[in-house]
Amino acid sequence: MKIPPVKGTRDFYPPDMAVRNGIIDGWKRASIRNGFEEYDGPIFEHLQMYQIKSGDEIVEQLFSLEDRGGRALAIRPEITPTLARMVNQRINSLSRPIKWFSVPRLCRAERPQKGRLREFFQWNIDIIGVDDVLADAEVIFTTVDYLREAGLTAGDIRVKMSSRRLLAAVLRSIGIAEAELDSLYVLLDKKGRLPAETFKELLAERVSDVGTASRIEAFMEASSVSGVRQAIGAAWNDEVAEAINELSQVERLLKEEMGVGEYCQFDPCIVRGLAYYTGVVFEVHDIVGELRAICGGGRYDNLLGDFGGGAIPATGMGMGDCVLEILLAEKGLLDRQISGGGLDYFIVFVPGLKFDGPGDVASTSRGQAVRLTARLRGLGRSADFSYKAAGVGKQLKQASERNARECIIIGDELRRGKLVVKDMSTGEQRLVGMEEFLSQLKP
Amino acid sequence: MKIPPVKGTRDFYPPDMAVRNGIIDGWKRASIRNGFEEYDGPIFEHLQMYQIKSGDEIVEQLFSLEDRGGRALAIRPEITPTLARMVNQRINSLSRPIKWFSVPRLCRAERPQKGRLREFFQWNIDIIGVDDVLADAEVIFTTVDYLREAGLTAGDIRVKMSSRRLLAAVLRSIGIAEAELDSLYVLLDKKGRLPAETFKELLAERVSDVGTASRIEAFMEASSVSGVRQAIGAAWNDEVAEAINELSQVERLLKEEMGVGEYCQFDPCIVRGLAYYTGVVFEVHDIVGELRAICGGGRYDNLLGDFGGGAIPATGMGMGDCVLEILLAEKGLLDRQISGGGLDYFIVFVPGLKFDGPGDVASTSRGQAVRLTARLRGLGRSADFSYKAAGVGKQLKQASERNARECIIIGDELRRGKLVVKDMSTGEQRLVGMEEFLSQLKP
């Protein structure tokens, strides 16, 4: 019986796995050098967890299941609710700031398309317990620090930043009612992905006053933090000024102190789809602009409270592997993510060759190959040999396919206790005593 | 709203994650040095996949779900069916032998108990395409190679080996009908976990002839491969002899060629619960015998065919993290699984200290700390600083909690371009020029 894989999932054959490991190792390295510690939660949680704050889109895309007791569960579509649960559970014993990262496997029942799969990996970094824009800047710096190490330059990508606080202040200042903010965010978040006319129509449906709607549009077209004043004109007030000041501080930190200003720009169209953001928000986009956002994040000061904890400030970022991998491939950077690979030694035996001399050399060339391989592995070296009694030439070819750095040939020389060691990059061969060779390999 | 985690799942806080990573890194290292390449599949497959060959116990424990199209899916309870599917899909292009490993997250709706959780990680190694007991020996050697590196000795654990082929031959030779073999395996597999009397009763229910039942019992008490002859007496035949010969070869390879004989012993009670085994089978147990099996595996030559592929020989092993972690903890070996950790540098600033001298030293001690941290991270070093303007003493304490190897203090000395660098293990301090210090750190 032949059964296909589930649509929208991926099989990782060894070459695909090498790419996935390369990307995830890069995420982990960047997290660790920026001072984050790794955590993880279960692959499923109670379904309710995702009905609190994840936003309608995610709730619709849940893979839900039941346990044997009939409890409603769901495979995690994001890890932030788990993070909130875990932090709340130990809020009194965790030392602050909580600076954590994770690389969860997530599932969403989306229609599979370019850069969107039903199952993917997402790098998450979060700083909890710090009510200072320095933490927002740290999250953005760490994101750029990874992307830069992966080989992406300021000519390839751009961090687009704005602030929910600023957006809320502007919308309030021009007369939008508090109760309408959340649903307006959802629309404004889609501006970049909708045709200009469609956006205009949808905005007019929600904001009937033409002057108010055009002010919103003017704000969303502001190209710098300082340009906001001009865009909103008379609606300027202290609340807006404070939000602007906060965002300017983030810009200054990223540029002056952290040296990544060239990657960053203000963009008031950045709103983020998720309901829980409260302050600075950002997304990273490819400059060509053909792909979805590479990642997104921001401040979510109320989320831990929403999950039954105290009011604790928090800010974070999530980056999926799908869009990133497409961009790295487009830029020819995929190969450089892959590290290591290849065997230290491939042991070649001479089929049919028998040793029956005195001393410890007994049995066959093949038996000696098995024996030497086991000893090399015991010394921590990667080593392998052919399970088939193929000719020496064929075995050397196999060694080369396996990217072995050296081949060790067990030939007649072993009667004198010697091995032939062949350097696979230069082709040079040398004759060494077996025990001498092994004693030089430190465990 | 406070929601608990799902029963039988684990939250991995950073210290738990360090243990999990330590164990998984050990599995990966052992796999790579033994010549295995990593693969992975999706977290869920079509439900049918697990109804073919996984055995009743696993089918009962499936976490099943539906996708939006109403298709029946299940979270993977094991990865072997996925492996079979993936290999069958590309059987003509994969070069042989296929020597793959994986570390999947698996879910089974079991009743949580010691060493059994609903969600766990399992190391899998498989050699596909090799019809030689050498491959079985390689799988067992790789398993021991990992356990040995983890610190477990032949005084802690034992590989118990038998053979489905031998068991089948013995049962046939004493008159058990072919159709009854599978259900008898399930019972015999439980022998070690049942009280002797209960096992006797259950066996009598299935095998009514007293002489036949006592021969089965005698076989299962044989303590060596050579002891089987005596145990089964007149039932000895060529089929049994061949199976014995095969098992003796595996024993010889492990002892003579691979040097791990002290870890291994024949044990006819090893049957394995899963339906798909066909040849050599083994389990690793703690010598004290208080825990469930640490791992199990064996030859499954028909499985790829059962999944719609050709007849391809295969042999493999699966080791979960739960029982292993309990054993490592009992033996005091958990700490040594954890590698690395700790920051390279913690940057300490002097709260309130301002620089306004000439040259490139501007702003505050804190601003300079942010700046230096970003530069160190850009050079690939792990570095962090305090987000709070705590006193220098408190910051040094924080550095020590974060296991920083060196602290860099940004004090008055920076007016002369100098940093104070403190070695956190010796407590020694030295004064170095900032640019000189940075230029010595290669990226």
B379–A contact, CB cutoff 8 A: no
- CB of A342 within 8 Å of any CB in chain B? no
Question: B131-172 pLDDT, tens per residue?
Answer: 999 999 999 999 999 999 999 999 999 999 999 999 999 999
Mean pLDDT confidence for B284-293: 93
Beta strand A418-423 with B64-66: parallel, antiparallel or unpaired? unpaired
- Quickly tell me which residue has 């036949």 as its tokens: B212
Q: Which residue in chain A has the smallest CA separation from B384?
A: A35
Q: Is A397 on the interface with B (CB under 8 A)?
A: no
The C-alpha atoms of residue B1 and residue B11 are separated, in whole angstroms, by 19
Write B350-356 long-range contacts (CB < 8 A, 24+): B350/B392, B350/B409, B350/B410, B350/B411, B350/B412, B351/B389, B351/B390, B351/B391, B352/B389, B353/B410, B353/B411, B353/B412, B355/B414, B355/B415
Contact of B366 with B354, CB cutoff 8 Å: no
Q: State residue A111's pLDDT score.
A: 82
**Inter-chain CB proximity A20 and B40 less than 8 Å:** yes
State which residue of chain A sits closest to B3, comparing Cα positions.
Answer: A49
Domain map (residue ranges) of chain B: 14-337, 345-439
Interface of B with A in 108-137 (CB under 8 A): 109, 118-119, 127, 130, 132, 134-135
Look at B33 and A63 and tell me if their CB atoms are within 8 Å: no
Residue among B257, B345, B375 with most chain A CBs within 10 A, to mutate: B257
pLDDT value of residue B361: 54
Q: Is residue B255 over pLDDT 90? A: yes
pLDDT of residue B70: 82
Two domains, one topology: B14-337 and B345-439: no
What is the model's pLDDT at position A357? 61
Q: Chain B within 8 Å of A79 (Cβ-Cβ)?
A: no
Stretch B353-364: mean pLDDT: 71
- Backbone phi, psi, residue A315, to 5°: -150, 145
> H helices within A124-163, ranges in order?
133-149
Q: Is A327 in contact with A291 (CB distance < 8 Å)?
A: yes
Helix (H) or strand (E) holding B72: strand B72-75
What sections of A43-132 are H helices per DSSP? Answer: 49-53, 56-60, 80-89
B14 vs A7, A100, A118: nearest CB:
A100
Report chain A residues whose CB lies below 8 A from the CB of B343: 35
B100 touches chain A (CB under 8 A): yes
Residue whose token pair is 């300017």: A248
| Average model confidence (pLDDT) across chain B | 92
Confidence of residue B357 (pLDDT cuts 50, 70, 90): low
| Distance in angstroms (rounded) separating the CA atoms of residues B261 and B286 | 16
Which of A14, A38, A63 shows the shortest C-beta gap to B17? A38
Report helix, strand or coil for B197: helix
Out of B3, B49, B306, closest to residue A85 by CB: B3
Closest by Cβ to A14, choosing from B39, B132, B401: B39
CATH class of A14-337: alpha beta
The set of residues, in sequence order, having a beta carbon less than 8 Å from that of A335 and lying 6+ positions away, is: none
- Residue B125 phi/psi, 5° resolution? -125, 140
CATH class held by domain A345-440: alpha beta
Asked whether A320 and A121 are in contact (CB, 8 A), the reply is yes
| Partner-chain contact B44 A63, CB within 8 Å | yes
Contact across the interface for B3 and A260, Cβ inside 8 Å: no
Does B441 reach chain A within 8 Å, measured CB to CB?
A: no
Q: What is the mean pLDDT of residues B372-387?
A: 94
Q: Which residue of B has its CA nearest to A367?
A: B257
Tokens, residue A195: 């045709």
The architecture CATH gives domain B345-439: 3-Layer(aba) Sandwich (3.40)
> Is A394 near chain B, with CB under 8 Å?
no
Which chain B residues touch A344 with a CB distance below 8 Å? 33
Q: How many helices (H) and strands (E) does chain B have?
A: 16, 17
Q: Do residues A275 and A55 lie in contact, with contact meaning Cβ atoms separated by under 8 Å?
A: yes
Categorize the per-residue pLDDT at B358 as very low, low, confident or very high, splitting at 50, 70 and 90. low
pLDDT by residue for chain A (443 residues), tens only, comes to 678 999 899 999 999 999 999 999 999 999 999 999 999 999 999 999 888 766 667 778 899 888 777 889 999 999 999 999 999 999 999 988 999 999 999 999 888 788 889 999 999 999 999 999 999 999 999 999 999 999 999 999 999 999 999 999 999 999 999 998 888 998 999 888 889 999 999 999 999 899 999 999 999 999 888 888 888 888 889 999 999 999 999 999 999 999 999 999 999 999 987 778 999 999 999 999 889 999 999 999 998 998 888 889 999 999 999 999 999 999 999 999 997 778 999 999 999 999 876 545 568 999 999 999 999 999 999 999 999 999 999 999 999 999 999 999 999 999 999 999 999 999 999 999 999 999 999 77
Residues whose CB falls within 8 Å of the CB of residue A41, separated by 6 or more in sequence, listed in order: A76, A79, A82, A83, A85, A86, A102, A104, B5, B9, B11, B12
Q: Does the pLDDT value for residue B308 go beyond 90?
A: no
Q: How far is A118 from chain B (nearest CA, A)?
A: 10
What pLDDT, on the 0 to 100 scale, is given for residue B75? 95
CB contact under 8 A, A39 and B21: no
CA distance A300 to chain B (A): 17
What lies within 8 Å, CB to CB, of A109 at 6+ separation is A60, A61, A62, A63, A118, B67, B68
A402 vs B: CB within 8 A: yes
> For A173-200, b where at least 16 C-beta lie within 10 A, e where not — what string?
bbebeeeeeeebbbbbbebbeeeeeebe
Rounded CA-CA distance A211/A108 in Å is 40
Please answer whether residues B185 and A417 qualify as being in contact, where contact means their C-beta atoms are separated by less than 8 angstroms.
no
Q: With an 8 Å Cβ cutoff, are B6 and A42 in contact?
A: yes
Chain B: nearest CA to A381, how far in angstroms? 6
pTM value is: 0.93
**Chain B interface, mutation test: which of A40, A122, A395, most B Cβ atoms within 10 Å?**
A40
